[in-house]
Amino acid sequence: MVKKIDENTFENEVLKSEKPVLVDFYADWCGPCKMMAPIVEQISEEYGDQITFGKCNIDENMDIAQRYRVMSIPTLIIFKDGKPAEVWVGACSKAELEEKLKKY
């Protein structure tokens, strides 16, 4: 399951999480973001025990996007121990994303 992340939930769901958290920064009007959404959803079903999955709409949460320098979308950021561990910009395949997440 992919949780919707916003200004009210970001600190508790992402920064204070005991597990790594993958946040998918997206916008409703973004074509590549729409391609990534089902991939992130599928992977969340498979890896949900090890990693928490969230999505953050940059149009509704500009402060979060600016804080983490999200300049283009989709941008995926994996947070570990309350800090960004890795940033991936652009759409990717399910296999590519799984490969990136293996170390977490």
The reply to whether 30 belongs to the active site is yes
The CB density around residue 73, as the number of other CB atoms within 10 Å, is 22
From the candidates 5, 22, 23, 33, give the one annotated as an active-site residue.
33
Instruction: Find out whether the peptide bond into 74 is cis, omega within 30 degrees of 0.
Output: yes
From the candidates 2, 23, 30, 58, give the one annotated as an active-site residue.
30
The reply to whether 56 belongs to the active site is no
Residue 89 Cα distances to 16, 43, 59, 69, angstroms:
24, 17, 17, 11
Report, as residue numbers or ranges, the catalytic residues: 30, 33
